Structure 1
């Protein structure tokens, strides 16, 4: 579809071209942090843009690798930040998709050992996936702690209370070749204010991959499974009718490319235009999937396109 509007490769798009692109798409997939908000602050114009998409009949779906909160908590955050018309079924987080993968795809029979926040556990338990309870006494070590006997999967997500004991336990469980090794996502880090960063799930997964000698199956972006979850729950969610909008080339753009979707980079988050140009001009074929089809400064750039449509319909 990109060829219909211009050659693939970081095309800055606005006005009539942006309007034509949006008219050709039925499903708009949006990353969250860096695209519609930064932490607890909405990107200027983002709430109005999302409402306009929905009002113009678009199926808006939110795809986030943030696994720290259950979907119910996301609904409250959307409302708190002014996105008042977002419903639960529009939200696909890596924690929710991990729960679906364990319950519906591999049909895990046994407990799951979770290296992650309480929000991840809540999502799994809501899907009926049993998790190992952490009940170690203070001062316990891998030499004397209890290990559950029926662990059939280890799931790694963002864990701000990571301990060496958790890492050691997970490594022990993964010595069983029949124990699945899953990761909610492979994001290496997340930006914080003041130029600081927060290590992401990918950094924890990497540590466990070294200690276990195994590679994790990644559930979230850029894996195709998140799109499979969406297409299974929304009739008509075909790749040609979808547009993926994100702020991270290595996650969002690669996800869209892996799933056969047109991709759009918004410059309100991690990746900038110079980064996209570097991948576009690279001689490595592996970098092609990291190049966005289109680029906008902000999702708020959608608003003038909608205003033109509304004026024409008056």
Structure 2
């Protein structure tokens, strides 16, 4: 189940009754997984946030792209990584014994020509996640490392932009940065997050789930719902985030299979709207 802006909370404000719904699923004996493309938080960070907002959660319940990036590179025996991204990625890498650098500002120095950049020969991977300090020097370094085809290229996710509830400002997502590096490196990244395969593989490996009895809840059809469709899950769209019902109606009429795959099995205005139905089920439990 999805853990991201627009589904369970807005920043540090839980959406009405969302924690009650999620906790009732657990009370009914259901496995609950919080699956997020957010690369700015570690699993520990997300457990802490869940508990602060009254969601029951343990570390093993969470799949986040910072951790998945570290797991993926650990499986490839990588030892050092150049990171365009957040401290969360660096912390997850450190926990599996991989060193990293590149976090934080890297501004243009007019006195230092780019041609003087010297690669660290120990770097065997480049990770691109959300980075508010994204800059031209970082592009130079990432593309230079990736010019060596033996260097692995990881993108945490491909979300194009974040939902803008003010409707006045476009907030670029990680996918915008990943595509930028793909363009200058002339290579495609291996993507960790939804709707790509690695997250699905890790979810299946970490749990014994039956796809036909698994519900994927999300607010973004081109990641969450498409991920659920590809995995064979039942899908539920909540309308408190990215995707609008008008988008779904348009895709329903499309002749393109790619767009029809974005259509959820069900939709609901908000996750908390499930609470009365779950309460009714709870009352029937002896």
SS in structure 2 of the partner of residue 244 of structure 1: strand
What is the TM-score normalised by the length of structure 2? 0.93
Query: 2:83 aligned with 1:98, yes or no?
Result: no
Query: 2:203 aligned with 1:225, yes or no?
Result: no
Superposed counterparts of 1:144-159, under 5 Å: 144-159=116-131
1:282-308 Cα offsets, whole Å, 9 max, x none, are 011111211101111111122112221
Determine which structure has greater relative contact order: mean sequence separation of CA pairs < 8 Å that are 6+ residues apart, divided by chain length: 1
Contact 1:108 1:152 in 2 (8 A): no
* Pair 152,263 (structure 1): closer, same or farther in 2 beyond 3 Å: same
Deviation at 1:110, TM superposition (A): 3.8
Deviation at 1:137, TM superposition (A): 9.7
Contact 1:265 1:296 in 2 (8 A): yes
Deviation at 1:193, TM superposition (A): 4.3
Contact 1:116 1:159 in 2 (8 A): yes
What is the TM-score normalised by the length of structure 1? 0.85
* Pair 173,296 (structure 1): closer, same or farther in 2 beyond 3 Å: same
2:44 maps to what in 1?
72
Give the total of aligned pairs: 282
Query: 2:246 aligned with 1:277, yes or no?
Result: no
After TM superposition, the runs of 4+ consecutive aligned structure 1 residues lying more than 3 A away are: 132-138
Contact 2:86 2:103 in 1 (8 A): no
* Pair 137,61 (structure 1): closer, same or farther in 2 beyond 3 Å: closer
Take 1:137 and 1:190, find their aligned partners in 2: how far apart are those partners?
25
Deviation at 1:141, TM superposition (A): 4.7
Contact 2:238 2:271 in 1 (8 A): yes
Deviation at 1:312, TM superposition (A): 2.2
Gaps of 5+ in 1: 1-28
Deviation at 1:138, TM superposition (A): 8.1
CA RMSD of the aligned region, Å?
1.9
SS in structure 2 of the partner of residue 108 of structure 1: coil
Take 2:170 and 2:57, find their aligned partners in 1: how far apart are those partners?
29
Gaps of 5+ in 2: none
1:124 maps to what in 2?
93
Take 1:313 and 1:261, find their aligned partners in 2: how far apart are those partners?
26
The one of 264, 267, 278 aligned to 2:236: 264
2:30 maps to what in 1?
58
